[in-house]
Amino acid sequence: MLKQRIITALVLLPFALGGFFLLDGGLFALFIGAVVSLGGWEWARLAGFTAQAQRVAYAAVVAALLLVLYLLPVLAPWVLLVGVIWWCLATLLVLGYPASSRYWTGAPSKMLIGLLILLPAWQGLVLFKQWPEANLLILTVMVLVWGADIGAYFSGKRFGKRKLAPQVSPGKSWEGVWGGLLATLLICAAVGFYRDWTLTELLLALVGTVLIVLVSVVGDLTESMFKRQSGVKDSSNLLPGHGGVLDRIDSLTAAIPVFAVLLWLAGWGAL
């Protein structure tokens, strides 16, 4: 399994890095759109659609909506706002699982939730490319999410005792969350000192880091909740050794729209 994970990562890494950091404009939107549409194909399975035609149709709907958003950039702030509202609601659903499942077990609800997860994430990344230090913004949100994941893994493995959400993901612990949060706060502080931020800038960045890391945990738990309800381990087998696309981007789908809104509130870019 480890060998398979490494081979898959080595094959995909050049394409992923090239797509994220070398493409711009329409090509970047198309690249991210392809990834998100694959996520839509996987989500259709979690929504209860097993027929290939149904899953492809849902992915096509996702792709069509992304095209609409690209042609109508005026919708961007509303998409991000809806995304942030969704992740606040998702937090309540995760905390209330399994009782909360009565609100979303129907296929229409699951299909809508898939859009609420995927579309704002795409919109946030497209906006990052239009703002100052575009690639740095994308790298920042990735480092925060990955840093939190790595910190959570090691701290959870060493100190994990109190279960975070045993009904959703039994392997995750509160100690893991605190470890991941500490790791990202240290990264943020190191960057702040390196870039000579003022105390106010540093404090705001640290607060933003806390929010982004916590919502990334919700993103991970949300997909786990839907997979548990559907009785599947991975969203698909598209990435040998890694599961599916959604399994790799679940935390990012939550972190990206929140990060975009925080940057906008801080005056970083125009919506």
pLDDT digits (tens, 9 = 90+) for 186-207: 999 999 999 999 999 999 999 9
Residue 261 covered by a domain: yes
Mean predicted confidence (pLDDT) in 205-210: 96
pLDDT digits (tens, 9 = 90+) for 20-72: 889 999 999 999 999 999 999 999 999 999 899 999 999 999 999 999 999 99
Q: HSE-up of 201 (CA within 13 Å, CB side)?
A: 10
pLDDT at residue 1 is higher than 60 = no
State the pLDDT at residue 66. 98
State the pLDDT at residue 9. 65
Residue 271 covered by a domain: no
State the pLDDT at residue 45. 93
Total tally of structural domains belonging to the chain: 1
pLDDT digits (tens, 9 = 90+) for 84-104: 999 999 999 999 999 999 999
State the pLDDT at residue 233. 85
pLDDT digits (tens, 9 = 90+) for 120-158: 999 999 999 999 899 999 999 999 999 999 999 999 998
138, 31 Cβ separation under 8 angstroms = no
pLDDT digits (tens, 9 = 90+) for 164-181: 999 999 889 999 999 999
Residue 102 covered by a domain: yes
pLDDT at residue 160 is higher than 80 = yes
pLDDT at residue 2 is higher than 50 = no
State the pLDDT at residue 120. 98
State the pLDDT at residue 161. 87
State the pLDDT at residue 209. 97
3-state secondary structure 1-55: CHHHHHHHHHHHHHHHHHHHHCCCHHHHHHHHHHHHHHHHHHHHHHCCCCCHHHH
Range of the domain at 158: 2-265
State the pLDDT at residue 234. 78
Residue 90 covered by a domain: yes
State the pLDDT at residue 5. 61
The model carries a pTM of: 0.94
How many helices (H) does the chain have, and how many strands (E)?
9, 2
For 55-86, give the DSSP string: HHHHHHHHHHHHHHHHH-GGGHHHHHHHHHHH
State the pLDDT at residue 231. 87
State the pLDDT at residue 270. 67
pLDDT digits (tens, 9 = 90+) for 221-231: 999 999 999 88
Residue 270 covered by a domain: no
Residue 154 covered by a domain: yes
138, 20 Cβ separation under 8 angstroms = yes
